[in-house]
Structure 1
């Protein structure tokens, strides 16, 4: 076997290993993850607790250890996006559940906007979740 043929065979083997070695996780994208509200109704109060679950849509398993990089809560569903409330991140009580404390001052429709970084994903997960504040 000549040196040229050996190089071609090695290159072909390397290409084959590259394609067969890729798992489904390598093809995962940020669109494979989703935040969901734990409850769609929150009590109107100065210290309303909003809990969301982050899960992988491919496996339906929760995703722990995401880093929340942005959060906002406002009344956009009722046409008052400028009416935002203070919000802060709370410690998690179980893996894959992310909690926030917000000053939900009025009953009605509210929107929670989140930005999160997930381990192994280069993109940022952005989500807008609508819930209702009840007296």
Structure 2
């Protein structure tokens, strides 16, 4: 009788742990997303329109309706991390999962865009740094 009660308790704890592990696997991590540059084009004197795409890696699908924030642009790839440019909030989405930002790039060259994105339904914030080339 004592062994039976102990065995039932052990099985219950095992089931509880297994369900907790399986349940947590249902939520994606920030590493399940990537940001890629779709294109960068001159948008007037000292400005570059940078179009990015947020992708969910497991199914390789674009992620619509994310909130892009904490944006920063600098020339770190060119060895000048103190050369920075303001980044405007994203304009309306182009195709779903694609976001266009305008960066004040004071000069042509290699730049890096650093950003954070909040994906609906995800607890973690996606953070990425992607390189782009600015032409004047």
SS in 1 for 2:96: coil
Give the structure with the larger strand fraction.
1
- Sort the Cα spacing of 1:54 and 1:9 in 2 relative to 1 into closer, same or farther, 3 A: same
Distance in 1, Cα, partners of 2:76 & 2:17: 51
Between 1:50-59 and 1:84-93, the stretch displaced more is: 84-93
Q: Is the 8 A contact 1:44 1:104 kept in 2?
A: no
- Sort the Cα spacing of 1:13 and 1:111 in 2 relative to 1 into closer, same or farther, 3 A: closer
Matched, 1:98 2:123: no
Residue ranges of structure 1 left out of the alignment (5+ in a row): none
Q: TM-score, normalised by structure 1?
A: 0.78
Q: TM-score, normalised by structure 2?
A: 0.78
- Sort the Cα spacing of 1:106 and 1:58 in 2 relative to 1 into closer, same or farther, 3 A: same
| Cα distance, 1:107 vs structure 2 | 0.9
| Cα distance, 1:62 vs structure 2 | 0.5
Q: Is the 8 A contact 1:68 1:116 kept in 2?
A: yes
